[in-house]
Chains A and B, each alone.
Chain A
Amino acid sequence: MTRLTVNGQAHDIDVDSDTPLLWALRDTLGLMGTKFGCGIAQCGACTVHVDGQPVRACALPVGAVGDKHITTIEGLGSDDALHPVQRAWVELDVPQCGYCQSGMIMAVAALLQDNPSPTDADINAAITNICRCGSYQRIRAAIHAAASQRVSGIKTP
């Protein structure tokens, strides 16, 4: 049995210790918001927070998580109380196919936690997730909007 603390809740799960956190979240705990994109920590679709730090869950074995706290997109905000990054994503119509956006939002939420008003260069360095739909222009605008708390009434780029 492995104990995982996810979104504030402890779970004892029976998985092989080399199982990447991604698959424990998705297949064992049924938390489908965290996505599989590449399996080699290249695309960031599986980004979650481990003790507040952005981590690509496809390359982190559950055996290495220990007692650290995991936050997934399901725990970031709720439908009724979206996280400011999620609100900015809605305001600026960021998603297209949407598949990468859970990971993108988690990466951005971690960035803003660490650096509340990032410059474009900070954003370029920190946000290396792949969006194959190419929503990057709106992502950048939404990050600035979330950072400045101008989430309501902002103009689309």
Chain B
Amino acid sequence: MSRAPRMNRRAFLASAAAAGGALALGFDIPLGPRTIRASESASEITVWIVIEPDDTVIIRVAKSEMGQGSFTALPMLVAEELECDWNKVKAEFASPHENRKRNRAWGNMSTGASRSITASQNDLRRAGATARELLIAAAAAAWNVPAKECIAANSVITHGPSGRTTTFGSVAAEAADMAPPAQIRLKDPKDWKLIGTRQRRLDVPDKVTGKPIYAIDVHLPGMLYAAIVQCPVFRGTLRSVDEAELAGMKGIRRVVKLPDAVAVVADSWWRAKKAAEALSVTWDFAGHAGVSSDTIREQLHAGLSAGDARVGRNDGDVDRALGQAVKRIEADYEVPFLGHATMEPQNCTAHVTPDRVEIWAPTQDGETALAIAADAAGVSADKVVVNKMMLGCGFGRRGIFQDFVRQAVLIAKEVSEPVKLVWTREEDTRHGFYRPVASARMTAGLDADGIPIAWKIRTSGQSIIAAVSPRVMQFGVDRNFLQGLLEDMPYHVPNYRVDFAMRNTHVPVGVWRSVNHSQNAFFKESFVDEMAYAAGADPYLFRRTLLAQKPKELAVLDAAAARAEWGSSLPPGVFRGIALHDSQSSICAQVVEASVDEDGEVRVHRVISAIDAGHVVNPLSVEMQTESAIVFGLTATLYGEITIKHGQVEQSNFHDYPMLRLADMPRVETVIVPSEGFWGGAGETPVPPLAPALCNAIFAATGKRIRSLPLKNHDLRSA
């Protein structure tokens, strides 16, 4: 940004190249997506933009790319104001160690909560505008004309009165040495030319040709490989390792004991893995070996009627109103732990030398990766270089904890060579930070007209905040657990109360695409459907009644219903369900068309997903993220559950933790509801409505109300 301390551009480019570490040694290694190295003659204009003499524009991306499209949408925000030719734009990751050195010139690199655009759009647009003004000023100075007589468009600067032109690349060096303008005016959204248009992803060419762009692809001369076996019971520790079985195994370099794991370093990953699995290990299960999904279910169920719940929101007098209701309904809901199952298993390559620690990581937060690496190596942060790579999925698994970074550095400390740690899929499935278990008891009272006058929600489950940052608790309540049920509850019911009985387990929990919205939308939207049926009302029209004071939500709900032709006839056996949920500052409504056959098999035919995310940078990204979110939500709804037995995860790989496959993909239609005036997220918002919309369709089809997930545990055969 323009506020950042300016430095000599060539000095920076030199230091950035040196930071490439292995580069300086002449190794050919991937530096993230397609190696872009600005030439000596390139000019840095603001920390975000580098312009080559041939007009190539390199735009730096501070956030991680894990499929969500930030590597394309974030440069679009810069390019809109820069007025460069979009076809000349390349993107590269800003590096975490440079960010530290330059006083966080690129801001917070943490990538999650669908915030990449909302959190950085202002800085990025300002950077583009600043650079544009600098380029114009440089051209005007060269022509000795007033800058206000010049305009920039498509990487060309034109002096209006004389018609003279020059290109960005021709004046970039001069522009880089000029002082940034004191004032910057951003375009009115109505004047945007690039934002709001469908643009191809910049990362696709590398991804269809198998380029080594992921951390797991790092290939360094002389590197070693590590496989790891972690204590199967969470929070257990390593007691002892018998290495006798390794006698005679070839290529084994070292056995590394960690507090809760043991790793084998070998000259190939396959040898390391075979050796790690051959080890005879004794663990201390720390008293957790008796925990099972049944004991956890009892623990949460007790929370539904316990006296220690903390109130999140309390309007009117819910108990009194329930007493006055003509009709009262009550239902309990529950959902299980869920894993992330990133396609690229957890991995990290680390090279620890006496004066330097370098890592290559699939990280959603390069700054946290750097801090963890420094801590694990026992060195100061200025000794650490982090290479951010493309991620083979993220979903929240690789942001806060980054256990794989700590492990890789601890292992690499034991040898002089670089070491690549790769988890097996089995380790990955059994050692996650899972979407928490949660239960809810819903109670509602309807008046004589079927209008809800009271709604009481008791939730019970495991808190992420309690594990991650207990200080964020407000008056003892984890408000994140109640996402979607607090001020962001869209429906108006005059007497409303929601509270939370925190019930933590020894199973590690963490954020997961849409986090607590995923549980709460299922509870809320399924129960709203129950209310509608109790009132004898159509589920869509019933929701409309409760949204009278919410025009934006109403518009999104109407858009989904209109595209679905709600109320029109469907093929025999196909039924509709509807749901609406606000999350990540955006609004999403979905209509699911599904059928249930005689054998109880659920088939989803079509999903209409309407979203109001405010300003949309790249509509193609929103469509792709919608399709992705629906597959993510559908996988969880149909199959998803991590269960516990003897304190351990029972699932291990894709045969027992299955994923949706192509044959079961429904037709997805994305409806972007025109809006303006705010910036919302899009990557997570279409996840939460899917489960309740589908379960509401199943109720329409079968009369069976689904109050627990996943669906595979339900017998849906017709009676």
* Contact surface of A with B, Cβ cutoff 8 Å: 15-16, 18-20, 23, 26-28, 30-40, 42-43, 45, 72-74, 77-79, 82, 86, 89-90, 93-102, 105, 123-125, 127-140, 156
Contacts and interface: CB of A to CB of B under 8 A. Distances in A.
Contacts, number: 185
Contacts of A139: 662
B627 interface: yes
A34 B219 CA distance: 14
A51 B358 CA distance: 40
B631 A136 contact: yes
A77 B205 CA distance: 12
A45 B343 contact: yes
Across the A-B interface, the 3 shortest Cβ-Cβ residue pairs:
A33-B210, A134-B631, A99-B392
B254 interface: no
B624 A93 contact: yes
A125 B661 CA distance: 10
Given A132-B393, A136-B631, A96 B662 contact: no
A40 B656 CA distance: 12
Interface stretch (B96-104, B185-193, B663-671): B663-671
Given A99-B393, A132-B393, A16 B208 contact: no
Given A27-B268, A39-B425, A99 B209 contact: no
A73 B663 CA distance: 24
Contacts of B654: 37-38, 40, 42-43, 130
Contacts of B244: none
A87 to B, nearest CB: 9
Contact of B209 (A40, A77, A130): A77
A134 B630 contact: yes
Contacts of A99: 214, 343-344, 392-393
A35 B217 CA distance: 9
Contacts of B206: 98
* Binding site secondary structure of chain A: loop
B291 interface: no
* Most chain B CB neighbours (cut-off 10 Å) among A27, A34, A98, A99: A98
A39 B429 CA distance: 13
Interface size class of B (residues with CB under 8 A): 35 or more
B225 A37 contact: no
Contacts of A15: 268, 270
B207 A136 contact: no
A98 B207 contact: yes
B211 interface: yes
Interface in B372-428: 390-394, 422, 424-426
Contact of B393 (A26, A40, A97): A97
A133 B268 contact: no
Given A82-B209, A89-B208, A156-B620, A138 B662 contact: no
B204 A90 contact: yes
B216 interface: yes
Given A82-B209, A132-B342, A156-B620, A98 B424 contact: no
Contact of B268 (A19, A34, A89): A19
A98 B662 contact: no
Contact of B667 (A89, A97, A137): A137
Given A38-B653, A43-B654, A134-B660, 7 more contacts: A15-B268, A23-B268, A35-B214, A37-B344, A40-B654, A79-B209, A96-B628
B632 A98 contact: no
B343 A40 contact: no
Contacts of B180: none
A34 B404 CA distance: 22
Interface in B202-247: 203-214, 216-217, 219, 225
Contacts of B198: 156
